[in-house]
Amino acid sequence: MIKLAVNLSMIFTEAPLIERFALARAQGFDHVEIQFPYELSIEQIQTQLTLHDLSLCLINAPAGDLMQGGDGLAGVPGQEAAFHQALEKAIAYAKGLNVPSVNILAGRQPLDADLLPCLNTLSANFKLACSMLGGHGIQPVFEMINGTDMPRFLVQNIAQAQEMLEAVQHPALKMQYDCYHMAMMGEDVLEGLQENIESIGHIQFADCPGRHEPDTGKIDYAQLFAWLKQSAYAGYTAAEYRPSQASEKTFAWKDKYFA
DSSP string, 206-224: --TTT--STTSSS--HHHH
Contact 177, 198 (CB under 8 A): no
pLDDT digits (tens, 9 = 90+) for 157-167: 999 999 999 99
Please count the structural domains in the chain. 1
Mean pLDDT of 22-32: 98
Residue 256 is predicted with a pLDDT of 97
Kindly state the percentage of the chain with pLDDT values over 70: 100
Q: Rounded mean pLDDT of the chain?
A: 98
Residue 51 is predicted with a pLDDT of 98
Q: Which of 143, 163, 166, 195 is catalytic?
A: 143
CA 92 to each of CA 48, 107, 247: distance values in angstroms, whole numbers, following the listed order = 18, 22, 30
Mean pLDDT of 229-235: 97
Kindly state the percentage of the chain with pLDDT values over 90: 100
Cα–Cα distance, 235 to 80 (Å, whole number)? 29
Enter the pTM of the model.
Answer: 0.98
Cα–Cα distance, 114 to 209 (Å, whole number)? 31
Contact 213, 239 (CB under 8 A): yes
Residue 175 burial (10 A CB sphere; 0-12, 13-18, 19+)? buried
Q: Which of 33, 187, 213, 240 is catalytic?
A: 240
pLDDT class of 72 with cuts at 50, 70, 90? very high
Residue 126 is predicted with a pLDDT of 98
Cα–Cα distance, 29 to 13 (Å, whole number)? 16
Using DSSP's 3-state secondary structure scheme, residue 90 falls into helix
Nearest to 108 by CA among 166, 67, 58, 161: 67
- Domain range enclosing 130: 3-258
DSSP E strands in 122-220: the ranges are 139-143, 174-178, 200-205
Half-sphere exposure of 19 (CA within 13 A, CB side): 5
Residue 126 burial (10 A CB sphere; 0-12, 13-18, 19+)? buried
240 included as an active-site residue:
yes
For the domain that residue 250 is a member of, what is the CATH number? 3.20.20.150
Mean pLDDT of 60-70: 98
Nearest to 78 by CA among 141, 120, 38, 36: 120
Mean pLDDT of 83-109: 98
| Res. 151: pLDDT tops 90 | yes
Mean pLDDT of 100-117: 98
Contact 211, 180 (CB under 8 A): yes
Residue 247 is predicted with a pLDDT of 98
| Res. 1: pLDDT tops 90 | no
88 included as an active-site residue:
no
